[in-house]
A = this chain, B = another copy of it.
Amino acid sequence: MQKNLTISIDAMGGDFGPEVVIPGIDIALESTPELQVLLFGNEKKLIPLLDKYPKVREASTIHHCRTAITMDEKPSTALRKGRKISSMWQTIQSIKDGHSGVAISAGNTGALMAMSTIILRQMPMIERPAIAAIWPTLRGESIVLDCGATIDVTSKHLVDFAVMGEAMARAIFGLKKPTVGLLNIGVEEVKGLESVKEAGEFLREAPLPMDYYGFVEGDDIGKGTVDVVVTEGFSGNIALKTAEGTAKQIGEYLRAAMKSSIFSRIGYVFAKGAFNILRKKLDPRQNNGGVFLGLNGIVVKSHGGTDATGFASALGLAIDMAKSNLLKEIETDLKKYKKKSKKIAEQKSQK
């Protein structure tokens, strides 16, 4: 973690590999000219592409890798086939080796999570990793975690996620005391899963630099009721995908409505600027990227099917992470609540 703006990039990840990754880096370099990239992938494929993007070539160091993980490979197969030699493995290994602070891949999520966990290992006191997403809200942006890494959680895992989430909110949003809510299916204390209730009881008293809000419901995410929404990976992933689906659905309704009459078509011409603003707001490429938290290193996952603009946006997130002090923030906070956490474990074992 010496150089702040060096990022390790799996050039072969995603549905389109280097064809999207290289132009994506080119876009990111416009706003971040100091970016340096360690590019892991097949030289033969990378060199001709880099000839077309001289700025990227200048900013890159190529590390040739013999194999690449495909998008549909099972994590177990990926680990067997891609151990050490794949571009994905090498990308993660490079942060382990201290060559850069953050790794990014648009590859297969399961394989990326499995390799990241094996190479980087969990942080001390963190049992299970989480994927954090940046969610656009009516108030700005919130962090939602976990979006799919860990299902079947205990209250301790949820508290870990809250700690990592508030540290991330402080690191990338610059907030002093982020508000944190636990996703639940009712705002009354009586409802919901036992693990969520227990985590709520703990967070209310936790000596952490955050403002525990209480339970929030699904519609609070988009409202921006809290800066950090904490949930387990199953419901978090379903919330994320459902919101994406709903946005797409409404976009379709809007398109159909604007074509419904000659007047609406005229109206569309006048309001084209407004529709462009809206289109940008709803563009899933603008909020691309999930951050793996809880490991000894930061790995950013870009959507596999995205284009250069989308990859550049995930890379922007990776840059934000590289500039931040996230791992240290998490570590400090973990130490703060270590005592409290032990208490919970003791109470549990007495049950």
Contact = CB atoms under 8 A, between A and B. Distances in A.
Contacts of A253: 278, 281-282
Given A235-B238, A239-B238, A282-B250, A270 B274 contact: no
A275 B193 CA distance: 40
Interface string A118-146: 00000000000000000001100000000
Contacts of A260: 273-274, 277
Chain A interface residue bracket vs B: 35 or more
Interface string A217-230: 11111110000000
Interface string A233-246: 11101111111111
A267 B245 CA distance: 27
Interface stretch (A85-93, A184-192, A288-296): A184-192
A223 B238 contact: no
A39 B20 CA distance: 63
Interface in A236-266: 237-250, 252-254, 257-258, 260-261, 263-264, 266
Contact of A219 (B190, B218, B248): B248
B241 A243 contact: no
B245 A271 contact: no
Contacts of A278: 253-254, 257
Nearest to A279: B257
A201 B110 CA distance: 22
Contacts of A221: 242, 245
Nearest to A259: B274
A151 interface: yes
A49 B183 CA distance: 40
Contacts of A240: 218
Nearest to A195: B152
Nearest to A223: B245
A152 B191 CA distance: 13
A249 B185 contact: no
